[in-house]
Copies of this chain bind each other. A is one copy, B any other.
Amino acid sequence: MALKVTKNKSPKPPIGCDLTECMSMLSGAWAPNVIWHLRSGARRFNELRIDIPPVSAKVLSARLKELQERGIIERNVMPTSPPSVEYQLTELGMELVPALQAIVEVGHKLKMRD
């Protein structure tokens, strides 16, 4: 056989927190889309439903709640009537935008490559 556990010894100096845990920030259906559509400013619940077409109210509201708990977005109720609710990225949330952008760029290149 000859090898078994040669060279490679799992080169992982704990960078901070583990990937799985960090990636779970973006977990749940439409989570990245929500962040993406908030990248250019606050939007309201029903606007987001239209922005992200096949998302159901149930899932959107669940996702918004989670993202808020994770510290990625903020919820502000506007004293109109009926009250409308605006969601926007927190400062940390905004830091995710370039990361998503980078992913989109790679995705784009992969599509062009054939």
Contacts and interface: CB of A to CB of B under 8 A. Distances in A.
A20 B33 contact: yes
Contacts of A47: 5, 8, 10
A63 to B, nearest CB: 14
**What is the interface of chain A mostly: helix, strand, loop, or mixed?**
helix
Interface in A78-114: 80-82, 84, 92, 95-96, 98-111, 113
Contacts of A104: 15-17, 19, 22
Given A1-B81, A26-B103, A19 B36 contact: yes
A71 B107 CA distance: 10
Interface of A: 1-3, 5, 8, 10-12, 15-17, 19-23, 25-26, 32-33, 36-37, 40-41, 43-44, 47, 50-51, 70-72, 80-82, 84, 92, 95-96, 98-111, 113
Given A12-B37, A25-B103, A26-B103, 15 more contacts: A1-B81, A8-B43, A8-B44, A16-B105, A19-B33, A20-B33, A22-B107, A22-B108, A23-B107, A25-B106, A25-B107, A92-B106, A92-B113, A96-B103, A99-B106
